[in-house]
Amino acid sequence: MCSIFGIFGLQPGDDVATLRRQSLELSQRQRHRGPDWSGIHHDAGAILVHERLAIVDPAGGSQPLRSADGAQVLAVNGEIYNHRELKAELREDYAFQTGSDCEVINALYREDAPASFLNRLNGIFAFALWDAARRRVLIARDPIGVVPLYWGHDREGRLCVASEMKALAPVCADVAQFPPGHWYEWSVDDDGRARGELQRYYERPWRDYAAVEGVRVPAQELREAFEAAVHRQLMTDVPYGVLLSGGLDSSLVAAVAARYARRRIEDDDASEAWWPRLHSFAIGLEGSPDLAAAEVAAKMLGTVHHGFTYTLQEGLDALPEVVRHIETYDVTTIRASTPMYLLARRIKAMGVKMVLSGEGSDEIFGGYLYFHKAPDAREFHEELVRKLDALHNYDCLRANKSMMAWGVEPRVPFLDREFLDVAMRMDAAHKMVRRGDTGPQRMEKGVLREAFDGYLPESILWRQKEQFSDGVGYGWIDGLKAHAEGQVSDRELAAADRRFPVNPPQTKEAYHYRTLFEQFYPGAACAETVPGGKSIACSSPAAIAWDASFAAMADPSGRAVAGVHAQALGSP
C-alpha cells in the first residue's frame, strides 16, 4: 500500500515545471504511506506522483506503472489479491513491465469498460489511470473504501486526487472524499472544456433484504469462505503479522492465518514461506483486558506474540499527531486510533510491513451491542447495510491511516469481496440475538462463533464485544475525558456552535479534538469530510428507533450502553 497524487487537465499555457515541483512537495506530505521509493510521471496533460510501500515485488514494481507503449500511466494505492487469476483470463496479450499485482489494471482497462473490470477486482485499492492518447483519467476506489482517496479542484479548475486530505487541503478549497465503490472518468476536449461522470459500480443483490430473506448459509460454507479470504490476503513478499486484541474478530483472523503461514501464497503453497513464523501484536495500558486476552489466544495459536504497553501520558502526547494523520475529529475514531498509532510504530521498528486486522465483522454480523434491540430481521439487515456504507469514515479510516502513519499496511479479510457476498446473503434472522424464551440462546455474532467452534479457546470464542478503545484499558477513556476537561472551558463549549458551525461538538472531549483538527485542516470543506463528528453506535437513527434511551447517550464508549451490557447473553 502506498500513496498517490495527481493533477489532471493541464493546458498548453500551464507552467508544467512549477506544477511538477508543487506536486512533489504536496505528495511528500503523505510519504509516510510509502517510504520505500518515489516516482513521478508528467506530460502535457497530467502529473502523477507515487510514494511506494513495497509489499509485492519489492525489487521491481515501482510506480507510476506505464504500459509498454506509454499509452497508459497508472498510480495505485492498494493490493489486487486475484491478480494472477485476472492475468490468466486476459483475452489479449499484454506486455507486463513489472511483477506488481496492480499492473493488471492497465491490461484490464484496454479490454473492458470500467464498470465491468472493476467488478472483477478482489482487493483494496484507490487509483488514477491516465490515458494520455485520449487525455482522459479514470479514478476508482474499492467497494467498501478500505483505502482512502480524496479529490478536489485547484484554483485553476484542474482536477486533483490524493490518498490523504493533507496533500490537497493547501490547494483545493472543495476537497472531499471520493466515494467508495465508484469510478469517475474525466477528460478535457480540444476547446479546454472538462467533462466528467461519476458512477457507482459496486451494487450487490444482498443490499435488498428481499434478496436474502429465507436464505441460510451453512456454517461450513461461512467458515471456508473466510479461510479463503485470509489465505488470499497473505499475499506478500515482506515480513507480516496479525493484530491480536484477544477479541473474537482479531483472534479468528490470527487463527486462520496461523494455518497458512508456513507456505508461500504466491506459488499456490508449493514452497515454504519466506517468513514462516507468524507474529502477533497487541497494545494496551498496563493490566488492560485486551493484553490479557491476547496472551491467551496467542498461546493457544502458537504465534510469536508481542504485547506492548503504553502510558496515559504517552497517549495524550500523541493526540495532535494522531489527528493530523487520521484526518478526523470523530471521538470514537480518535480514542481507538491513538493506541493503534502507537502500536504501528512498534511494529514498524520490528521490520514488519503488513498486518492482518479484524475490522468489518461487527458491520457484517451485527456485533455492536445496540443490535440486541433490533425488532426484526429486516431492520437488522438494513442497518448492517447502512453500517457497511459508512465504514470508510470510521473503522477503515482508523485502521488504514493509523497504521500507514508508520508505513505498515493493514489488510481486512472480513471485508474481502467474496467473503462479503457469502456472509451478507444470509438472512439476518440467523444473525440476530435470540433469548431463551423464543429459542436457543445466542449472543451477538453467534452464527460466526458457531462456524468456528474449536478454532479458539471458549473464553475467546465467546468473549463479549468490547470497543477497542475500551479494551486497551478503561483508564484510557477516563484519562482522555479528564484531559479534555483541563483544555476546554464551560464557556467555550457553550459557544461551540458559533466557532464550529459544521458539526458543532457536544462534549469537551469532542471540542478538544475539533480544535486539534482545525489546526491542521481549517475551512468548511475539510470539516465536512467528517460526517457528524461522532460515530456513537447508539446514535444511529435505527438504534434510537429501536430504543429511545439511546438518543440521550453522548458517550461513545461501549460501557455507556449499560442496559445492553446487562442483558447480554452468554454462550449457548
Q: CATH number for the domain including 255?
A: 3.40.50.620
pLDDT attached to residue 532: 79
Q: Are residues 123 and 171 in the same domain?
A: yes
> What are the cell numbers at 165?
486530505
In angstroms, the CA 251 to CA 240 distance is 16
Q: Are residues 224 and 195 in the same domain?
A: no
What are the pLDDT digits (tens) for 522-546?
Answer: 999 999 999 975 444 455 788 888 9
For residue 438, the one-letter residue type is T
461 versus 468: the higher-pLDDT residue is 461
pLDDT attached to residue 535: 46
Q: Are residues 191 and 314 in the same domain?
A: no
pLDDT attached to residue 377: 97
pLDDT attached to residue 564: 47
263 versus 39: the higher-pLDDT residue is 39
Average pLDDT, integer, range 433-450:
76
Kindly tell me if the per-residue pLDDT of 560 is higher than 60.
Answer: no
Within a domain: 340? yes
pLDDT attached to residue 436: 57
Kindly tell me if the per-residue pLDDT of 437 is higher than 90.
Answer: no
Within a domain: 495? no
Task: Indicate the pLDDT class of residue 565, thresholds 50, 70 and 90.
Answer: very low
Within a domain: 61? yes
DSSP E strand boundaries for 118-201: 123-131, 136-141, 150-153, 159-162, 176-177, 182-188, 194-200
pLDDT attached to residue 188: 75
> What are the cell numbers at 386?
447502512
pLDDT attached to residue 568: 44
Within a domain: 160? yes
**pTM of the full structure:** 0.94
pLDDT attached to residue 554: 57
What are the pLDDT digits (tens) for 132-141?
Answer: 989 999 999 9
Q: Are residues 126 and 243 in the same domain?
A: no
Average pLDDT, integer, range 362-380:
94
Q: Are residues 188 and 299 in the same domain?
A: no
Q: Are residues 173 and 271 in the same domain?
A: no
pLDDT attached to residue 572: 34
Within a domain: 278? yes
Within a domain: 14? yes
Q: Are residues 103 and 232 in the same domain?
A: no
Q: Are residues 269 and 176 in the same domain?
A: no
Task: Indicate the pLDDT class of residue 555, thresholds 50, 70 and 90.
Answer: low
> What are the cell numbers at 247?
477479541
Q: What is the 3-state secondary structure (H, E, C) of 80-102?
A: ECCHHHHHHCCCCCCCCCCCCHH
pLDDT attached to residue 49: 98
Q: Which of 96-100, 266-270, 362-366 has the highest mean pLDDT?
A: 362-366
- Residue 139: give the domain boundaries: 3-200
Query: In DSSP terms, which residues pair with 263 in a beta bridge?
Result: 272
102 has catalytic annotation: no
Q: What is the dihedral of CA 486, 496, 526, 553, to 10 degrees?
A: 80
Q: Are residues 182 and 224 in the same domain?
A: no
Within a domain: 299? yes
Supply the CATH number for residue 22's domain.
Answer: 3.60.20.10
Query: In DSSP terms, which residues pair with 386 in a beta bridge?
Result: none
| Number of Cβ within a 10 Å radius of residue 356 | 26
In angstroms, the CA 125 to CA 530 distance is 21
19 burial class (0-12, 13-18, 19+ CB within 10 angstroms)?
A: middle
End position of a domain, from candidates 140, 170, 200:
200
Q: Are residues 172 and 253 in the same domain?
A: no
Of the listed ranges 96-100, 142-146, 391-395, 434-438, the one predicted with least confidence? 434-438
Q: What is the dihedral of CA 361, 363, 367, 368, to 10 degrees?
A: 140
Q: Are residues 271 and 349 in the same domain?
A: yes
Please give the distance of CA 529 from its chain centroid, rounded to a whole number. 16
Q: Are residues 146 and 234 in the same domain?
A: no
Q: Shortest CA distance to 362 belongs to which of 230, 219, 243, 465?
A: 465
* Residue that the C-alpha cell 475539533 belongs to: 514
Name the domain count of the chain: 2
Beta strands across the sheet bearing 123-131: 65-66, 72-80, 123-131, 136-141, 182-188, 194-200
Within a domain: 432? no
Q: Which of 208-217, 473-482, 542-551 has the highest mean pLDDT?
A: 208-217
What are the pLDDT digits (tens) for 320-365?
Answer: 999 999 999 999 999 999 999 999 999 999 999 999 999 999 999 9
Q: Shortest CA distance to 557 belongs to which of 477, 503, 472, 475?
A: 477
| Number of Cβ within a 10 Å radius of residue 143 | 25
| Mean pLDDT estimate for the chain | 91
Cα-based angle 353, 120, 54 (whole degrees, multiple of 5): 20
Question: What is the share, in percent, of the chain residues with pLDDT greater than 90?
Answer: 77
492 burial class (0-12, 13-18, 19+ CB within 10 angstroms)?
A: middle
Task: Indicate the pLDDT class of residue 457, thresholds 50, 70 and 90.
Answer: confident
End position of a domain, from candidates 200, 228, 255:
200
Catalytic residue, candidates 2, 102, 160, 538: 2
436 versus 301: the higher-pLDDT residue is 301
End position of a domain, from candidates 487, 505, 522:
487
Average pLDDT, integer, range 485-489:
97
Kindly tell me if the per-residue pLDDT of 79 is higher than 70.
Answer: yes
pLDDT attached to residue 57: 80
Q: What is the dihedral of CA 296, 298, 300, 304, to 10 degrees?
A: -140
First to last CA, the chain: 41
Kindly tell me if the per-residue pLDDT of 468 is higher than 70.
Answer: no
Average pLDDT, integer, range 424-434:
94
